[in-house]
């Protein structure tokens, strides 16, 4: 699984960083980005999906292989 935060859509609600800090981080302005290359280990798949379904701006993309 691969996650990506669309920086154009992200408005800094910080829901993903709250719910899944193992996968997402925020910059000094509070805008989110995925850690590393966005690869999510299997044990964190549910957390990644939860972050996606709580993003008010629909800014999180998930690619499942």
Partner 1 sequence: MTATEPGRVGDFATDFDHTDPAWVHDPYPIWEDLRGRCPVAHTDRYGGAWLPVTHEGVAAVAYDTEHFTSRSVVISNVKPGPLDLPAPIGLAPPITSDPPFHAMARRLLLPAFSPKAIAALEPMTRQLCRDLLDATEGRDELDAATDYAQHIPLKVIIGMLGFPQEDADIFRRFIHMVLESVNATAEERLAQIENGEIDAYINAQIDDHLAHPRDDLTSFLLSAELDGAKLAPEHVRGTMVLLMIAGIDTTWSAIGSSIWHLGLHPEDRRRLAGEPELLPTAMEEFLRAYAPVTMARMVAKDVELEGRTLHEGDWLLLPFPAANRDPAVFPDADRVVIDRADNRHAAFGLGIHRCLGSNLARMELRVALSEWMARYPEFEVSDPDAVTWSAGQVRGPRRIPIRILR
Closest residue by Cα to residue 27 from 12, 9, 6, 39: 12
Nearest distance, CB of residue 53 and partner 1, angstroms: 4
Nearer to partner 1, 2 or 14 (CB): 14
Give the residues lining the site for partner 1 (CB under 8 A). Answer: 11-14, 17-18, 26-30, 50, 53-58
CA–CA separation, 47 and 52 (whole Å):
9
Nearest distance, CB of residue 15 and partner 1, angstroms: 8
- H/E element, 62: strand 60-63
Nearer to partner 1, 2 or 54 (CB): 54
């Amino acid at each position: 699984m691969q996650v990506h935060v669309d920086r154009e859509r992200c408005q800094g609600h910080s829901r993903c960083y709250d719910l899944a800090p193992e996968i997402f981080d925020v910059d000094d302005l509070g805008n989110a980005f995925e850690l590393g290359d966005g690869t999510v280990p299997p044990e964190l798949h549910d957390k990644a999906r939860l972050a996606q379904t709580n993003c008010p701006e629909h800014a999180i993309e998930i690619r499942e292989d």
